[in-house]
């Protein structure tokens, strides 16, 4: 601040993650963007929330604190699907645990309000975004209030924050009080009355949705259906106050995306850290080409957070970034990724004139006729990136939608992918094999994956490369019964594939799957959904996916007996586990203790 002749910062960004100046990190994006708007910005990374000292290190900002709760939800970052503490924190130096609170939005806001009573605190990022309404909290197994209400922050920015932040900065700089900042798309506020709010939909209040699962389900359906540009303002009462959500922010244009990702990111962690921040390793030499995801998987928060509309960068901007990466001292020639939430959705643009009002799923149960199916643009981008001096290989690691690839009659992208952009293994996510479960997941039929796998295998053999698909499957997703889990295990054995790691369903706040998990019904149809909620049921389904591991055999035998499938316990080719070995009893005489005599 002294070097820049800054007596008082305009904004201070607070984050529970270590500071990494890379566009994959929320605090870096927000800080760099606000600075580009002409404001001075400071960063407080991983403050000690147990005291007030760190929250006062940069003084009081002129306009507001911008509190980003990090790249991951706090609870998800710290606890596994089995509600056990994670062994490391990928967003901390050295992967160390204990450098953040479990609910950063609430803990940090409390300290900021304690130290800077008159200064606005504006919260944003994945954690408060997905917890902006009354929501089901998996760790506590109950419905919690909105994080805006619980944290007592002044405003919440949901989704990607650049457009709302632009308006907020302009209005605060123009002298408006934080309480006057209303009618801003992509934001939520809390008020004691609804005067002047205009047309809106009122959801069942927190007190009702925390008691009635039917009310919770109805409220979720309304939120889900209004997550579109033409959505209505939504209101949910909490006690005597009203949570007000204005419609979502408009998508960024290509020129806006280019401008954001061309900001002067160093792509390095802050030099004050002596140990490496693990989360940087995978993304440091990767390129974000787009945002948004029309896939809308039920269990994923990306579509809810970034929107289902693709927002992409230009080929020129991506190649310019590649040149900057190639000039970095520690670059070895490999671009780790060119993509986004789903790498091959670069061209997946909706062609409907009624897009802003459309609420249907773009990819399920089949690909919408209005969704453009093409890989021409991403193919040209990849061709341009690999021609940059210093680049040896270009990989795609951010995941692919295999059904979208199969729907494209032009095979040029697929052939290029197999030949040049796979580093031994290609990640794909069929997620399950049973159709009823896949429909609840908003995923395509498993037949499509089988067709893709066959094409991939044949293409790899044709060019003489040993490459493999790495499919991801989820255990105990809502709708997946014990019989479904057994069917999945059987198919995996037939395919001679056993995953090294199992992705057990994690009920994260704000997703369709979590609403099904909590209520036991699909909120979009009202139909009941069978859910594995007990730890025993979830453990059984999880164990079945790794049927080759001896430690799982007792659980698998119990699961097969419970399902009446003892025919799968044995040593035959179709068996999932061998029978339990009965220990032979030793000779009774041999087991009897020998008598000894003592002499005095």
Q: Can you list the domains of the chain with their CATH numbers?
A: 11-182 (3.40.50.280)
The backbone torsions φ and ψ at residue 95, rounded to the nearest 5 degrees and listed phi first, read 70, 20
Look at residues 437, 322, 429, 310 and name the one whose alpha carbon lies nearest to residue 375: 310
Structure tokens at 29: 């994006």
At 399, is the pLDDT very low, low, confident or very high (cuts 50, 70, 90)? confident
Is residue 572 pLDDT above 50, yes or no?
Answer: yes
Task: Give me the pLDDT at residue 586, please.
Answer: 56
At 582, is the pLDDT very low, low, confident or very high (cuts 50, 70, 90)? low
> Residues 513-562: pLDDT tens digits?
999 999 999 999 999 999 998 889 999 999 999 998 999 999 999 999 99
Look at residues 377, 491, 378, 389 and name the one whose alpha carbon lies nearest to residue 434: 491
Is residue 595 pLDDT above 80, yes or no?
Answer: no
Hey, is 300 helix, strand or coil?
coil
> Residues 305-324: pLDDT tens digits?
898 999 999 999 999 999 99
Give the rounded distance of the alpha carbon of 549 from its chain centre.
29
Task: Give me the pLDDT at residue 599, please.
Answer: 39
> Residues 172-203: pLDDT tens digits?
999 999 999 999 999 999 999 999 899 999 99
DSSP secondary structure, 67-128, as one string: EE--SS-HHHHHB-TTS-B-S--TTSGGG-SSSS-SSHHHHHHHHHHHH-TTS-EEEESHHH
> Residues 496-507: pLDDT tens digits?
888 877 789 999
At 353, is the pLDDT very low, low, confident or very high (cuts 50, 70, 90)? confident
> Residues 226-263: pLDDT tens digits?
999 899 999 999 999 999 999 999 999 999 999 999 99
Average pLDDT over residues 372-384: 96
The backbone torsions φ and ψ at residue 465, rounded to the nearest 5 degrees and listed phi first, read -115, 135
At 598, is the pLDDT very low, low, confident or very high (cuts 50, 70, 90)? very low
Of all residues in the chain, the percent with pLDDT exceeding 70 is 97
């Amino acid at each position: 601040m002294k070097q820049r002749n800054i007596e008082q910062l305009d904004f201070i960004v607070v984050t529970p993650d270590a500071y990494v100046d890379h566009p994959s990190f929320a605090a870096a994006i927000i800080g760099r963007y606000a600075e580009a708007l002409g404001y001075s910005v400071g960063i407080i990374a991983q403050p000690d929330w147990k005291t007030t000292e760190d929250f006062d290190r940069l003084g009081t900002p002129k306009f507001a604190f911008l509190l980003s709760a990090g790249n991951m939800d706090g609870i998800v970052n710290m606890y596994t699907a089995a509600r056990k503490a994670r062994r490391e924190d990928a967003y901390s130096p050295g992967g160390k645990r204990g450098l953040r609170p479990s609910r950063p939005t609430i803990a940090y806001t409390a300290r900021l309000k304690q130290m800077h009573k008159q200064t606005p605190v504006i919260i944003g990022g994945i954690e408060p975004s997905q917890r902006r309404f009354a929501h089901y909290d998996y760790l506590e197994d109950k419905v919690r209030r909105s994080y805006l209400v619980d944290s007592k922050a002044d405003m919440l920015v949901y989704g990607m924050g650049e457009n709302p932040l632009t308006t907020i900065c302009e209005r605060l700089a123009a002298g408006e009080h934080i309480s006057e900042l209303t009618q801003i798309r992509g934001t939520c506020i809390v008020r004691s009355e609804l005067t002047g709010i205009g047309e809106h939909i009122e959801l069942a209040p927190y007190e009702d949705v925390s008691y009635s699962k039917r009310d919770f389900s109805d409220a979720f359906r309304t939120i889900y259906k209004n997550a579109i540009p033409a959505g209505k303002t939504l209101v949910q009462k909490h006690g005597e106050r009203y949570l007000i959500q204005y419609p979502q922010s408009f998508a960024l244009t290509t020129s806006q995306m280019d401008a954001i990702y061309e900001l002067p990111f160093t792509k390095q962690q802050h030099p004050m850290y002596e140990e490496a921040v693990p989360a940087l390793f995978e993304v440091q030499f990767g390129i974000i080409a787009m945002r948004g995801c029309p896939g809308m998987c039920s269990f994923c928060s990306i579509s809810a957070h970034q929107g289902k509309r693709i927002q992409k960068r230009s080929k020129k901007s991506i190649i310019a970034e590649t040149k900057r990466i190639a000039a970095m001292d520690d670059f070895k020639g490999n671009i780790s990724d060119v993509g986004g939430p789903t790498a091959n959705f670069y061209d997946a643009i909706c062609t409907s004139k009624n897009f802003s009002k459309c609420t249907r799923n773009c990819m399920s149960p089949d690909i919408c006729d209005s969704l453009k199916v093409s890989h021409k643009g991403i193919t040209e981008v990849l061709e341009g990136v690999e021609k940059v001096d210093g680049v040896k290989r270009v990989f795609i690691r951010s995941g692919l939608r295999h059904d979208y690839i199969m729907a494209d009659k032009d095979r040029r992208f697929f052939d290029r992918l197999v030949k040049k952009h796979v580093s031994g293994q290609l990640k794909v996510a069929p997620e399950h094999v049973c159709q009823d479960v896949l429909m609840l997941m908003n995923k395509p039929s498993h037949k499509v994956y089988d067709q893709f796998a066959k094409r991939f295998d044949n293409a790899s053999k044709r060019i003489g490369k040993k490459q493999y698909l790495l499919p991801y499957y989820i255990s105990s997703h809502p709708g997946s019964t014990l019989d479904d889990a057994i069917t999945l295990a059987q198919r995996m054995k037939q395919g001679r594939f056993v995953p090294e790691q199992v992705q057990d369903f994690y009920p994260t706040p704000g997703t369709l799957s979590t609403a099904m998990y909590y209520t036991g019904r699909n909120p979009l149809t009202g139909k009941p959904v069978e859910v594995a909620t007990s730890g025993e049921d979830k453990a059984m389904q999880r164990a079945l996916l790794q049927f080759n591991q001896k430690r799982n055999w007792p659980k698998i035998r119990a699961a097969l007996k419970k399902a009446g499938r003892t025919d799968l316990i044995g040593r035959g080719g179709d068996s999932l586990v061998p029978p339990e070995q009965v220990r032979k009893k030793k000779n009774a005489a041999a087991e009897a203790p020998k008598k000894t005599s003592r002499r005095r």
